[in-house]
Amino acid sequence: MKVLVPIKRVIDYAVKVRVLPDKSGVDLNNVKMSLNPFCEIAIEEAVRLKEKKIATELVAVSIGPKAAQDSIRTALAMGVDKGIHIETNLRTDQELQPLAVAKLLKEVAKREDAKLVVLGKQSIDSDNGQVGQMLASLLDWPQVTFASKVTFADDKQSLTVDRETDKGSEVVQVTVPAVVTADLRLNEPRYASLPNIMKAKKKPIETLAADSLIDAKDLQPRNTVLKVEEPAARKAGEIVDSVDSLINSLKNKAKVI
Amino acid sequence: MYRVSKLALRSPSLLKTQLFSTATKSSATQLFHPTEEHVALRQMLRSFVESEVDPQALVHNRTETFNVELFRKLGSLGLLGITVEPEYGGSGMDATAACIAHEELSAADPAFCLSYLAHSMLFVNNLARNGSHEQKLKYLPKACTGELICGMGMSEPSVGTDVLGMSTTAKLTPDGKHYLINGAKMWITNGTIDGKSTGDAFLVYAKTDPTQRGGGLTSFLVDKGMPGFTLGQKIEDKCGMRASMTAELVFSDVKVPIENVVGEVGKASLCMMRNLEIERVTLAAMALGIARRSIEVMTRYSQERKAFGKPIAEYGQIQKAIAESYAEYMAGRSYVYNFAASLELSTYGNGLDADGVKLFCAPMAKRVADRAIQCLGGYGYVGEYQVERLWRDAKLLEIGGGTNEAHHKNMVRDLRKSGKIE
């Protein structure tokens, strides 16, 4: 079974993000970029499926400028077999939006004849958390999102997935083909060992132009970002001297009760 | 082996230093990680060091214990045999990769990195370059996984720089099948792991013919458990490198089969020459790691700490400390990686710059760590803030693997011969 793993190169989680002076977006100049943490978890899950001989081939796909290949190389070094780079110069944190991404991934999934798509639940730059769901809908495949555990049945056709919801954990069973999005507790990603980093050198990365897969107008953003601002500075807290005082503050100042 | 998810680790403590972006593709950064594999190696190491090496550094320094479990993780990452051919279990990478590994590990725990160096450079690399196929098959695969933790014995209680003054001897037995080794070796990193017995295997230098000029210096493989081979003492109360085990090893009629001679009898100076260059450049790379971390810590601290209403980073003396440290670090880094790029592991003859990189970088690291302590003031004097440990660890680099004075001697000897500089 071929598994497709869409991944994204985003601003590193540890970077102190700054807004551009014209407020058109976040400053990406000279900023450290890394593989999206949830994508890393998705890659790890796919590699484990291959080790269990459930997946036969793993394909990583990433959309973005040439540098997106860095993330694909990391995926190859973790155990993915080949990579596809869909090239575009649209800003991947705000111009290239989830529906366009989902449409591109649908084409890749069909082209690669993938039976399972495993991807991160959201990217830490745009935090939309929509691609997996939209992709499943476009493909007309079942979806299980926020997966914290994936177990395949012996027939390798059906899988039981624990998913994390706001109310608690829920267990869902689906059959392939399917889309699964990875949540934080699904696994702990491995480090790429040096021998695997060396092996990755020989694995292929294919580059495709984004507008060769879907119509150029479908790539364009449907929402326009008007302004990006830093969040308001946190105000200092207030120390109260009694429960009554606390209730009063909560009611009249914070207005939450 | 797995790591804790980065998101789960996020903590806004003063200790967590921000990583400089390596996003710029200037020619300088090309030197420090010339190929994609080198870039991937450095990225993997940064990540590994942040989550696995940093958290354990202080406690192992305090208790003077060696982190065997972490060492074996280096094995599963393919780092222990970084310069060994894949057929013997290694990763087959070059001197630049070795420098990257040492620089990155040292930024968090130079002591742990020193044990890594003694194992991977002083034993593993030496055997890979000088050993026979059978010897390599016997030791390297297990040394590459970390099943065997190894070292090298050259210095003695009374002999350091004056290597040929060593008094450990190896006498051929009448039947010609064994050598009997007698003597003692001192300052052996990984000489003991548990503090009670010797480490697993060592390359030991001994004289087979004291009448000969040079004494017939020969390199032997000595295994733990060989009768007569014992731990003299674990060396305690070291100033720095405390998480690395250092020991005196004693040889009392240790019977070593002739199959354990590495290279040719009497020709060990060749083995030594071949290994000294990678040893010195990786020690210099360790100094770079110490310097980089010190710069990161003092830069971050000086932005947050205020005096007289403004961050101390706005005062000239702090600016001088940080700026000069950075420039010296980059000069050292460029020297090291430029040299590493030209270092062919199987040849030798570049001694001048091998001495040069260490002579420059070791004192530089000590100076930079010292400035970092000064910038941090009282906090710099305390273990939790890293820099006092880095300062103590840095000092060893001016002594081990060649003292500053040894480098002076060697470099003038080499410069006298060559005369003109290109």
Q: How close B2 gets to chain A, by Cα (Å)?
A: 4
Hunting for tokens 């030791």 — which residue is that? B139
Q: How close B154 gets to chain A, by Cα (Å)?
A: 30
Which residues does B340 contact at the CB level (< 8 Å), separation at least 6?
B94, B95, B96, B98, B99, B281, B285
Q: A31 and B92 in contact by Cβ < 8 A?
A: no
Hunting for tokens 């450290």 — which residue is that? A32
Between positions 100 and 129 of B, the ones with CB within 8 A of A are none
pLDDT in tens, A166-188: 999 999 999 999 999 999 999 99
A157 to each of A62, A111, A160, B169, how far by Cα in Å?
26, 21, 10, 69
Contact B127, B203 (CB under 8 A): yes
Among chain A residues, the shortest Cα distance to B91 is held by A195
Q: Rounded to 5 degrees, what are φ and ψ at B82?
A: -60, -30
Structure tokens at B193: 């792991």
Which residues does A171 contact at the CB level (< 8 Å), separation at least 6?
A160, A161, A162, A163
CA distance linking residue B374 with residue B386, whole number of Å? 13
CA distance linking residue B37 with residue B42, whole number of Å? 9
Q: B5 and A192 in contact by Cβ < 8 A?
A: no
Contact B45, B100 (CB under 8 A): yes
Structure tokens at A173: 């069973």
CA distance linking residue B56 with residue B66, whole number of Å? 10
CA distance linking residue B142 with residue B223, whole number of Å? 13
User: Which residues is A62 bridged to in the sheet?
Assistant: A7, A85
Nearest to B23 among A31, A44, A77 (CB): A31
Q: B24 and A30 in contact by Cβ < 8 A?
A: yes
Q: B44 and A191 in contact by Cβ < 8 A?
A: yes
Report, as residue numbers or ranges, the catalytic residues of B: 279
Among chain A residues, the shortest Cα distance to B39 is held by A70
Hunting for tokens 């800003």 — which residue is that? A91
CA distance linking residue B322 with residue B317, whole number of Å? 9
Question: What global pTM score does this model have?
Answer: 0.89
Nearest to B5 among A184, A192, A195 (CB): A184
Q: How close B79 gets to chain A, by Cα (Å)?
A: 7
Nearest to A73 among B7, B20, B40 (CB): B40
Burial degree of B38 (CB within 10 A; 0-12, 13-18, 19+): buried
Each residue's pLDDT tens digit in chain B (422 positions)? 555 455 544 433 333 444 444 444 455 578 999 998 999 999 999 999 999 999 999 999 999 999 999 999 999 999 999 999 999 999 999 999 999 999 999 999 999 999 999 999 999 999 999 999 999 999 999 999 999 999 999 999 999 999 989 999 999 999 999 999 999 999 999 999 999 999 999 999 999 998 887 889 999 999 999 999 999 999 999 999 999 999 999 999 999 999 999 999 999 988 888 798 999 999 999 999 999 999 999 999 999 999 999 999 999 999 999 999 999 999 999 999 999 999 988 887 778 999 999 999 999 999 999 999 999 999 999 999 999 999 999 999 999 999 999 999 999 999 998 877 87
Query: ipTM of this predicted complex?
Result: 0.83
**CA-closest candidate to residue A40, choices B43, B15, B119:** B43
Structure tokens at B409: 């001697």
Q: How close A242 gets to chain B, by Cα (Å)?
A: 31
Residues of B in contact with A201 (CB under 8 A): 36-37
Quick one: which H or E segment has residue B415?
helix B404-418
Identify the contact set of chain A against chain B, taking CB-CB distances under 8 A. 12-16, 30-33, 37, 41, 44, 70, 73-74, 77, 124, 184, 187-198, 200-201
Contact B7, A40 (CB under 8 A): no
Q: Does B6 touch chain A (CB under 8 A)?
A: yes
Judge whether residue A139 has pLDDT over 80.
yes
CA distance linking residue B93 with residue B45, whole number of Å? 15
Coil vs helix vs strand at A205 = strand
Contact B151, B226 (CB under 8 A): no
State the DSSP code for B164: G
Positive or negative CA dihedral for B78, B84, B87, B88?
Answer: negative
Among chain B residues, the shortest Cα distance to A28 is held by B23
Among chain B residues, the shortest Cα distance to A69 is held by B36
